[in-house]
Amino acid sequence: MPSLTVNGHPLAFHLDPQTPLLWALREAANLTGTKYGCGSGDCRACLVLVDGQAVPSCQMSLAQAEGRSVTTIEGLSHDRSHPVQQAMMAEGAVQCGFCTPGLVLAGAALLAANANPTDADIKAAITGLCRCGVYPRLLRAIHRAARVMRGEEKIAAIPAPGVAQNVPALRGATPGR
Residue by residue, pLDDT tens for the chain (177 residues) are 889 999 999 999 999 999 999 999 999 999 999 999 999 999 999 999 999 999 999 999 999 999 999 999 999 998 999 999 999 999 999 999 999 999 999 999 999 999 999 999 999 999 999 999 999 999 999 999 999 999 999 988 766 665 444 433 333 333 343
Say what the pLDDT of residue 161 is.
Answer: 60
Report the alpha-carbon distance of residue 131 to residue 136 in Å, rounded. Answer: 13
Domains of the chain, first to last: 3-76 (3.10.20.30), 83-149 (1.10.150.120)
Contact 158, 86 (CB under 8 A): yes
Say what the pLDDT of residue 1 is.
Answer: 84
Handedness of CA 7, 12, 15, 20 (dihedral sign): positive
Which residue from 68, 77, 132, 124 is spatially nearest to 100, judged by alpha carbons? 132
Residue 9 β-bridge partners: 6
Say what the pLDDT of residue 163 is.
Answer: 46
Q: How far is CA 91 from CA 22, 24, 61, 71, 176, in A?
A: 29, 33, 35, 24, 30
Q: How many helices (H) and strands (E) does the chain have?
A: 7, 5
